[in-house]
Amino acid sequence: MDNLPTLKSTDLYECAYYFSNNCTVKDVEIVEENRKAVCFLYMTGENLLLLQQNYFKSEAVVNLFEFRRSYNRLMNLIALAKKESKIRQGGNR
């Protein structure tokens, strides 16, 4: 699994598309940018590069139910990561 391509994105729709097509979240990173928490999702998967090409060529096709579920799961991951980041920083946000 370590040899699979990985990409970093803040675009939740893009990542939900990958996630709904059997890619996985390798990591979630919260960084402060302009006094706001920004979430970077690191996605990995066998077909990631092909999916990325399809996404940016506006050729992405999704099952709407699966996409919605993927979107909600990623939102939950982001909320947890932001909460943990806030706790680590002593709740200064």
> How far is it, in rounded angstroms, from Cα 30 to Cα 73?
17
> Tokens for 21?
């097509």
Average pLDDT over the chain, rounded to an integer? 93
- Kindly state the average pLDDT of the residues 13-40: 95
Helix (H, G, I), strand (E, B) or coil at 83: helix
Res. 93 pLDDT band, cuts 50 70 90: very low
Is it the case that residue 92 has pLDDT exceeding 60?
A: no
Taking alpha carbons only, the member of 84, 86, 77 closest to residue 27 is: 77
- Kindly state the average pLDDT of the residues 25-47: 94
